[in-house]
C-alpha cells in the first residue's frame, strides 16, 4: 500500500487574490501559496513531499 501526502488547503491563506505567480516546482502560474507563502500548486507540493519523505524501507 502506498501512502500519499494529502494537504488540506481549504484555508483562505492558501489563495492569493493579487494574482498568479510561477509555481516553484513546475513554473506554471498558480494563485495557490504554501504555508510559507511560496507559490506552488497543491498537487506539486504533495508530489514533492512524497518524493522527499523517507520511507520505512529506506536506509
Q: Is the pTM of this model over 0.75?
A: yes
Q: What is the pLDDT of residue 54?
A: 74
Mind listing the pLDDT tens digit for each residue in 2-57?
667 789 989 999 999 999 999 999 999 999 999 999 999 999 999 999 888 876 66
Give the residue from 30, 26, 25 showing the smallest Cα distance to 14: 30
Q: What is the pLDDT of residue 52?
A: 87
> CA 16, CA 33: separation in Å to the nearest integer?
7
> CA 40, CA 14: separation in Å to the nearest integer?
10
Q: What is the pLDDT of residue 57?
A: 62
10 Å Cβ neighbour count for 49? Answer: 13
The residues near 17 (Cβ < 8 Å, ≥ 6 apart) are: 31
| Contact criterion met (CB below 8 Å) for 45 and 39 | no
Amino acid at each position: 500500500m502506498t501512502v500519499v501526502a494529502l494537504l488540506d488547503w481549504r484555508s483562505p491563506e492558501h489563495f492569493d487574490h493579487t494574482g498568479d505567480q510561477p509555481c516553484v516546482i513546475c513554473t506554471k502560474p498558480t494563485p495557490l501559496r504554501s504555508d510559507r507563502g511560496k507559490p506552488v500548486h497543491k498537487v506539486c507540493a504533495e508530489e514533492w513531499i512524497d518524493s522527499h519523505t523517507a520511507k520505512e524501507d529506506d536506509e
